[in-house]
Structure 1
Amino acid sequence: MPLALEEQEQVDRLKDFWSKYRNVITGVVTAALFAYAGYSGYQWWRTSQTTSASQLYETMVTAVGKGDKEQTLRAADDLQKEFGGTPYAAMSSLVAAKIAADAGDAAKATDYLRWVAKNASNSGYSALGKLRLVTQLIEQGAAKDFAEADTILKEKPIIGFEALWLERRGDWYLAQAKVADARASYEAAWKQLNEVKEFPEEARRLLKVKLDAVGGSSR
């Protein structure tokens, strides 16, 4: 059945439009499809990464339970290299740092903590890495270690860790026999800690011991 004149004009306009813009339209649709495929692929990759990382982390936990230091540290290294964007990498490096420190390998422990401080995908793990790194550096006690710890402590504390930041600054002062400065930092930390009720009681007890040691007030 022949098209009406008006309908034929619409068809002709559509053909003309498609002739002019088909490359653009095809490009946009193709780009959208690639974008969707890329997003879906990324979601699959991220899920796959997390699953694989969790399996490797379980291997590490088993090694820790067996007291196998070499396998523990190897698993932590593999998590850093292959799954650095997952929380498991930071978790494993914190554990590995403790094991290395307990084994007397301060340099290795420091390396793990530096990695967490710089690369942790979670701000909480990053804060823990920095705080433990400061403690490790203070224990090492060289001038360059104190300087590195000072640089970290001058950073803005991650929200929720302000009290611990002040406590570590007190430790930094005390290690250099600056008792008055240490006392001031501990008292400021105590005040902050009392404003954050969810902090573990053990953290309060430890800080109070430090305050008492320098003649500070915990009121």
Structure 2
Amino acid sequence: MPLDLEEQEQVDQLKAFWAKYRNIITSVLTAALVIYAGFSGYQWWRNNQAIEASKLYNTLVTSIGKGDKEQTLRAADDLEKQYSGTTYASMASLVAAKVSADSGNTDKAIDYLRWTADHASNDAYEALGKLRLVTQLIERGTAKDFAEADDLLKDKPVKGFEALWLERRGDWYLAQQKITDAKKSYEAAWKQLDQTKEFPEEGRRLLKVKLDAVGGVTQ
């Protein structure tokens, strides 16, 4: 059926609009499809990474149960190399650090904790990595170790870890026989705990022991 004049005019306007803007429209649609495809691909990649990382982490847990230190550390190393962006890699490095420290290999433990501090998948694991790294550095006790620990403690504490940061600073002072400074840091940590009700009771008791050892809370 032939179009009337008004309909024909609308068709002509549509054709003119398309002729003028089709390249732009096509480019925008193509870009949108590319972005969507890229996002979908990234999500698939992330999910796949998490699944594969979880399998490797299960291997690590099984190895710990068997007392297989070599397999435990190998699984942790593989997680660091292949799945560094996952939470499993951060957890594995913390576990591997403890296994290494318990077996007397402080240097290896420090290497794992440095990795966690630098590559942790979230703030909480980064904080744990730094705090445990400070502890290992203090225990090793060279001038270089104390300097590195000092630098770590100068970082702004992750929210919720303020008391532990102050406690580690107290440990840092105490290891160098700076009793007055250690006491001030422990006292500041103790006061901070009053604002952190969910802090583990075991942690409170340990801090109290440290504080009592340097003279207790100043009244």
TM-score by length of 1: 0.98
Q: Where does the alignment leave 5 or more consecutive residues of structure 1 unmatched?
A: none
Q: Deviations over 1:99-143 (max 9, x none)?
A: 111112111111100011111011111000000000000001000
Aligned match of 1:119: 119
Aligned residue for 1:133? 133
Question: Which stretches of structure 1, 4 residues or longer, exceed 4 Å deviation after superposition?
Answer: none
Counterpart amino acid of residue 9 in structure 1: E
Distance 2:29 2:166 in 1: 55
* Percent of aligned positions that are identical: 73
Gap regions ≥5 residues in structure 2: none
In structure 2, what is the equivalent of residue 197 of structure 1? 197
Q: Is the contact made by 1:190 and 1:218 (CA closer than 8 Å) also made in structure 2?
A: no
Instruction: Tell me if the contact between 1:208 and 1:218 (Cα under 8 Å) persists in the aligned partners.
Output: no
Separation of aligned partners in 2, 1:17 and 1:111: 64
Equivalent in the alignment of 1:104: 104
CA distance in 2, matches of 1:213, 1:4: 99
User: Which stretch shifts more, 172-181 or 96-105?
Assistant: 96-105
The amino acid across from 2:117 in the alignment is A
Aligned equivalent of 1:179: 179
RMSD value over aligned CA atoms? Answer: 1.0
Return the alpha-carbon distance in structure 2 between the equivalents of residues 193 and 115 of structure 1: 29
TM-score (norm 2): 0.98
1:189 partner amino acid? A
Residue aligning to 2:170: 170
Farther-moved stretch of structure 1 (97-106 vs 137-146): 97-106
In structure 2, the partner of 1:59 is 59
2:17 equivalent in structure 1: 17
Report the number of matched residues: 219
Report the residue type matching 1:64 in the other structure: I
Secondary structure of 1:195's partner?
A: coil
Other structure's SS at 1:45 match: helix
Q: Distance in 2 between matches of 1:79 and 1:118?
A: 15
Distance in 2 (CA, whole Å) between partners of 1:218 and 1:43 is 55
Q: Distance in 2 between matches of 1:132 and 1:93?
A: 12
Amino acid at match of 1:214: V
Deviation at 1:218, TM superposition (A): 7.7
How far off its partner does 1:216 sit?
2.0
